[in-house]
Amino acid sequence: MPSLRDYRDRIVSVKSTRKITSAMKMVAASKLKRAQEAAEASQPYAKAMAGMVSRVAAGVHGDAGPKLLIGTGSDQRHLLVVVSSDRGLCGGFNSNLVRFTRNEVRRLTTAGKKVQIICVGRKARDVLKREFSSLIIETITGLGGRKRLSFADAQKVSDLVLGMFNAGKFDVCSLVFNQFVSILTQKPNTQQLIPFVVAANENADATSAPYSFEPEEDVILAEILPKNISVQIFRSMLDSAAGEQAARMTAMDNATRNAGDMIKNLSVKYNRARQAYITKELIEIISGAEAV
Is the predicted pLDDT of residue 201 greater than 90, yes or no? Answer: no
> Would strands 114-120 and 136-140 be described as parallel, antiparallel, or unpaired?
parallel
Give dist(CA 69, CA 200) in Å, integer: 15
pTM score, two decimals? Answer: 0.83
Q: What pLDDT sits at residue 292? A: 61
Order of strands across the sheet with 114-120? 136-140, 114-120, 77-83, 172-180, 186-194
Dihedral angle of Cα 17, 18, 20, 22, to the nearest 10 degrees = 160
Domain assignments of the chain as residue spans, ordered by start: 4-22+252-291, 42-250
The one catalytic residue among 39, 57, 79, 90: 90
CATH number of 42-250: 3.40.1380.10
Comparing 177-191, 193-207, 231-245, 274-288, which segment has the lowest mean pLDDT?
193-207
Q: What pLDDT sits at residue 105? A: 94
Does residue 93 contact residue 186 with C-beta atoms inside 8 Å?
A: yes
Is the predicted pLDDT of residue 107 greater than 50, yes or no? Answer: yes
Q: Catalytic residue at 90?
A: yes
**Which residues, in sequence order, are bridge partners of residue 175?**
81, 191
Q: What pLDDT sits at residue 204? A: 47
Q: What is the CA radius of gyration of the chain?
A: 28
Compute CA distances 187 → 58, 87, 129, 149, 231, whole Å. Answer: 30, 18, 22, 21, 19
Q: What pLDDT sits at residue 7? A: 86
Q: For the residues 94-115, what does the mean pLDDT come to?
A: 93
Q: What pLDDT sits at residue 163? A: 92
Does residue 244 contact residue 55 with C-beta atoms inside 8 Å?
A: no
Q: What pLDDT sits at residue 110? A: 92
Q: Tell me, what DSSP letter sits at residue 115?
A: E
Q: What pLDDT sits at residue 91? A: 86
Does residue 66 contact residue 218 with C-beta atoms inside 8 Å?
A: yes
Is the predicted pLDDT of residue 71 greater than 80, yes or no? Answer: yes
Burial 177-201 (b: 16+ CB within 10 A, else e): bbbbeebeebebbebebbbbebeee
Average pLDDT, the chain: 86
Higher-confidence residue of 58 and 204: namely 58
Q: Which CATH homologous superfamily contains domain 4-22+252-291?
A: ATP synthase, gamma subunit, helix hairpin domain (1.10.287.80)
> Would strands 136-140 and 172-180 be described as parallel, antiparallel, or unpaired?
unpaired
Q: Which helix (H) or strand (E) holds 18?
A: helix 4-57
Is the predicted pLDDT of residue 268 greater than 90, yes or no? Answer: yes
Does residue 11 contact residue 266 with C-beta atoms inside 8 Å?
A: yes
Is the predicted pLDDT of residue 145 greater than 80, yes or no? Answer: no
Burial 272-282 (b: 16+ CB within 10 A, else e): ebeeeeeeeee
